[in-house]
Amino acid sequence: MNWLGILFLAFVSFFAIDIITGFGLFFLRITPLLRGWALGASGVLSVITLIRGARPPVLLNYEARLSGLPNKMDGTVIVAMSDLHLGSLLGK
């Protein structure tokens, strides 16, 4: 799915430039330069997201005090997990 994310960032960058230039109808002289900047911006954004996506997962611990909680539930642990697709990137 990395290629799809990179394609999306490129699409958004080029679409922003096309909106600004009226899809090439305005600013005729600088439109190619702006599209080059859009390509560069999408490349930089892609590298940043690939680096950030390769980081290890973050584990957070929170302790909550609930009034009115029955004594038998004292010490109960609740676990929430998200982004379980990391195995394909980081291995088992």
- Whether the pLDDT of residue 66 is over 70: the answer is yes
- Whether the pLDDT of residue 92 is over 70: the answer is no
Q: In this prediction, what percent of the chain has a pLDDT beyond 70?
A: 89
Selected residue with higher pLDDT from 56 and 24:
24
Stretch 66-87: mean pLDDT: 81
* pLDDT score at 10: 96
- Whether the pLDDT of residue 36 is over 80: the answer is yes
Stretch 19-36: mean pLDDT: 94
Domain ranges across the chain:
2-90
3-state secondary structure the chain: CHHHHHHHHHHHHHHHHHHHCCCCCCCCCCHHHHHHHHHHHHHHHHHHHHHHHCCCCCCCCCCCCCCCCCHHHCCCCCCCCCCHHHHHHHCC
